[in-house]
Chains A and B, each alone.
Chain A
Amino acid sequence: MQSILEGFAAAFRLIVTGNPELWRIILLSLQVSGTALILATVLGLPVGACLAMRRVPLRGLVISLLNTGMGLPPVAAGLFLYLFLSRSGPLGFMGLLYTPTAMIIAQCILAFPIVASLSHAAVANVDPVIRQAAITLGATPIQESLAVIKEARYSIMAGVMAGLGRVMAEVGAIIIVGGNIAGYTRVMTTTIALETDKGNFELAIALGIILLTISFSITVALRFFQRLGHTGTSANSWA
């Protein structure tokens, strides 16, 4: 018990004093997960919206695959990506293994099905009369799709936040393709795993507290977007 309390005290000291190693790890984590999430959203949102609004070949199969992908074990994703990126793999020539780029790809693979699947559900749940109203008011097919996506915006944001939660907490895939190299590919989750193994609890606890804070913030943001979805906006601006 004494050592746990000491660990927490040391962890708070690290956070408060702005330990450079700690902040480098946090920044890299945010950079990797943020980029992965942006990519997953840019790819996943159109896929989800398209599945909900257009007649797509093998639509049922694609939706099932995306739903399955939501539960994709990170270590399995990491393993397959490792096989592709390793020197003997089909993408080995790109030299991406053990780089932050490989970690971004891994997290994007994990976040994509979540964003796409939840975007699909969000867009599919929009009342069909919204689309018809847009058409009767003279919308082009793109404007009509945008009107529907706009109606689903809060649920889509909730899906994006769920994707962020997934990638921020993930360790299995990035440790395989990133290698947990100090100062280069070491992020919060992989540092916690490593430092705990080594018995150095201060840094692990400090990062654990920050991860929990981020997790809590994501949950608060999720609730905010879900509530907005029910109550809408009262903005009195034109745009």
Chain B
Amino acid sequence: MGLELEIVHVFRSYNGNRILRDCSFGFAKGRTYVLQGPNGSGKSTLFRALALLEKPDSGRVDYRDGGRILAADLELRRRITLVLPRTGIFNTTVFKNVAYGLKIRGIARAESEARVNDALLAVGLAHKKWHRAAELSSGETKRLGIARAMVINPEVLMLDEPTANIDPANTEIIEAIILKMKQERQATILMITHDPAQAERLGDDLLFMQDGKIIPA
């Protein structure tokens, strides 16, 4: 459980603006990294490259399992996940949203149901299982996004501002979920936050992003 990952001399530009500039860093297996930095410094772009959502203009993103570099294919994509800052909920029930990742992996219905129920219980949404996801509050929607990621048991979990724009109560619940995941699973967790206190509470390693590069804090 848990993969190592490394970015090597990654460059990425949008419309001529260079966002990532020769960005290199190695993330060790099973640790929790919290990334901070000003808006526009390249944090989300870095996560999108790490989640294989976008290819860098140059440089590489290497995932390693026992020293062996893994091919950036569907098999690898299914071992990692990124919880986006906007959750992107499907227009259906809470249950079906969480079950999606299992359904596309062809997991048997009984097993899926049990895993979805566990995930919903963990994020405190079990009572809203059959509610329409669109009816959830913004805090609950963030928790739904985390449940959707948790249920597929990723070896690398990336969370892009999981507590942005939500109230302290929901922030506390989400922090508790992340801490529990740190303790119970050996996944490599990468997280972006603008809250230095939260970074201290959750991170094993604190990183800072400036001008498209990662600097250990």
Residues from 133 to 176 in A contacting B, C-beta threshold 8 Å:
133-140, 143, 147, 150-151
The reply on B27 being an interface residue by CB < 8 A is no
Q: Are B90 and A150 in contact (CB under 8 A)?
A: yes
Residues from 224 to 239 in A contacting B, C-beta threshold 8 Å:
232-236, 238
Binary CB contact string for chain A from 116 to 142 against chain B (1 if under 8 A, 0 otherwise): 000000000001011011111111100
Comparing B80-88, B176-184, B193-201, the segment that makes contact with chain A is B80-88
Q: Are B93 and A138 in contact (CB under 8 A)?
A: no
Comparing B1-9, B56-64, B97-105, the segment that makes contact with chain A is B97-105
Residues from 37 to 94 in B contacting A, C-beta threshold 8 Å:
51, 53, 74, 77-78, 81-84, 86-93
Q: Name the contact of B84 in the complex, choosing from A133, A140, A143 (C-beta under 8 A).
A: A133
Q: Are A133 and B88 in contact (CB under 8 A)?
A: yes
Q: Do A137 and B132 contact each other (CB < 8 Å), given the known contacts A129-B86, A150-B90, A238-B113?
A: no
Q: Do A127 and B152 contact each other (CB < 8 Å), given the known contacts A137-B101, A138-B77, A232-B134?
A: no
- Docked CA distance A58–B84 (Å): 32
Category for how many chain A residues contact B = 20 to 34
Closest B residue to A147 by beta carbon equals: B90
Closest A residue to B158 by beta carbon equals: A136
Category for how many chain B residues contact A = 20 to 34
Q: Name the contact of A138 in the complex, choosing from B78, B86, B99, B132 (C-beta under 8 A).
A: B78
Q: Name the contact of B81 in the complex, choosing from A138, A150, A236 (C-beta under 8 A).
A: A138
The reply on B109 being an interface residue by CB < 8 A is yes
Q: Name the contact of A132 in the complex, choosing from B77, B84, B91, B113 (C-beta under 8 A).
A: B84
Q: Are A137 and B91 in contact (CB under 8 A)?
A: no
Binary CB contact string for chain A from 195 to 239 against chain B (1 if under 8 A, 0 otherwise): 000000000000000000000000000000000000011111010
Closest A residue to B51 by beta carbon equals: A136
Least Cβ–Cβ distance between A176 and chain B, in angstroms: 43
Q: Are B152 and A137 in contact (CB under 8 A)?
A: yes
Least Cβ–Cβ distance between A81 and chain B, in angstroms: 39
The reply on B12 being an interface residue by CB < 8 A is no
Q: Are A151 and B90 in contact (CB under 8 A)?
A: yes
The residues of B that contact A129 with a CB separation of less than 8 Å are 84, 86-88
Q: Are B91 and A233 in contact (CB under 8 A)?
A: yes
Closest A residue to B48 by beta carbon equals: A132
Q: Are B130 and A236 in contact (CB under 8 A)?
A: yes
The residues of B that contact A132 with a CB separation of less than 8 Å are 53, 84, 88
Q: Do A136 and B90 contact each other (CB < 8 Å), given the known contacts A232-B134, A234-B132, A238-B113?
A: no
Q: Are A138 and B104 in contact (CB under 8 A)?
A: yes
Q: Other CB < 8 Å A-B pairs besides A137-B152, A138-B81, 7 of them?
A: A133-B87, A133-B148, A135-B77, A136-B149, A138-B152, A234-B132, A236-B93
Binding site for B on A (CB under 8 A): 127, 129-130, 132-140, 143, 147, 150-151, 232-236, 238
Binding site for A on B (CB under 8 A): 51, 53, 74, 77-78, 81-84, 86-93, 95-96, 99-101, 104-105, 109, 113, 130-132, 134, 148-149, 152
